[in-house]
Amino acid sequence: MFSSIAACIGIVAAMLGETLYAPWLVYADPVAGLFVSLLVLKIAVSPHLTVLEAHEIGKRVKEKLLTFPQVHNVMVHINPYDEQ
């Protein structure tokens, strides 16, 4: 919940900076991002795996990353591997 509020405040402040002629507010969005800290990871798996098997891989990757004290929130996005 806190991360959503912080992200919204940063975005709104950055947008208002232009309207209010306060160019320094453009930095509110990246500063809010420092507090949100969501790790988004995209991994590619064999296209021959079942959805359940691919989901299990993603779950194990997320669990492993959350063992690091610096990592608080992880979203693992799974794609089928494509050689092209």
pLDDT tens series, the chain, 84 aa: 555 666 667 777 777 777 777 777 777 766 666 666 677 788 999 999 999 999 999 999 999 988 988 777 888 889 998 876
Q: Is the dihedral of CA 45, 49, 50, 53 positive or negative?
A: negative
**Using CA atoms, how far apart are residues 25 and 6, in angstroms rounded to an integer?**
14
Q: At what angle do helices 28-36 and 2-19 cross, to 10 degrees?
A: 170
Residue 68's pLDDT is 85
30: left (phi over 0), alpha (psi -120 to 50) or beta: alpha
| The model's pTM | 0.55
